[in-house]
Amino acid sequence: MSGQIDRRNLLKAAALGLPALALPARAFAQPFSISEQNRRILDIARREADRAGSALWRKDIVGVADFALPSSLPRLHFANLEAGTVRSFLVAHGKGSDPEHDGFLKYFSNEPGSFATSRGAFISYEWYVGKYGVSIRLGGLDPDNSHALERAIVMHSAWYAAPDMLAKWGKLGRSDGCFAMAPDDFNEALLHLSGGRLIFADRLGIY
């Protein structure tokens, strides 16, 4: 009998437009959640921003490059520490880090003339116009990337870092050690990673 009454009440509530009576209250309280991978990216971003300390001008967004992944996968992550969100993009590595050009980084180097990617924390400086158009100058904050300015390691756009390279070759082209992004994606770096923010690069194995 009680089951019939409950059903009758639910039908009446639906007819009156009272959905709160028809659904349990907990259905309206969905907790905010992020993936475990994004949580790790945010944790690394916070750790490295804290480690860099006053060297940074801004700590709202941190770039995290995971070079354990091949160039065919989005491995440059924009970690928004204020919003708790992560956006991921393709990025190329240096030809000296991948002599066989199979899409996997094997070596880091800080040596001038190595054409290799360096690991460590970088600070983004001002925009300038160079070989690849508008680019972001970078400074190295660690012993492993202390020659970044001398080597002209920067962030820039490049045709060889665009997604259509994956359809043709299954991997991106290689830079001279710079963080090269697809032209459309690089606009996001100009807006969100320039001006004294941190870019941290290493073989992290987040995924």
CB neighbours of 74 closer than 8 A, spacing ≥ 6?
A: 88, 89, 90
Beta bridge partners of 207: none
Q: Which pLDDT score, from 0 to 100, does residue 27 have?
A: 37
The residue ranges of every structural domain in the chain are 1-30, 32-202
The Cα 90–Cα 180 span in angstroms is 9
DSSP 83: T
205: left (phi over 0), alpha (psi -120 to 50) or beta: left
Measured torsion, CA atoms of residues 92, 94, 95, 98, in degrees rounded to the nearest 10? -80
Residue 28 is which amino acid?
A: F
CB neighbours of 167 closer than 8 A, spacing ≥ 6?
A: none
Q: Which pLDDT score, from 0 to 100, does residue 207 have?
A: 75
What does pTM read for this prediction? Answer: 0.83
Tens digits of residue pLDDT in 63-103? 999 999 999 999 999 999 999 999 999 999 999 999 999 99
Output Rg (C-alpha) for the chain, integer angstroms.
23
| H/E element, 51 | helix 36-52
The Cα 147–Cα 47 span in angstroms is 23
Tens digits of residue pLDDT in 148-199? 999 999 999 999 999 999 999 999 999 999 999 999 999 999 999 999 999 9
DSSP string, 122-150: EEEEEEEEETTEEEEEEEE-SGGGTTHHH
Distances (CA, A) of 28 to 9, 15, 31, 127: 20, 20, 10, 46
Pick the CATH number of 32-202 from 3.40.47.10, 2.40.440.10, 3.40.462.10, 3.90.1150.10: 2.40.440.10
Tens digits of residue pLDDT in 13-65? 334 443 433 333 333 334 446 899 999 999 999 999 999 999 999 999 999 99
pLDDT beyond 80 at 206: yes
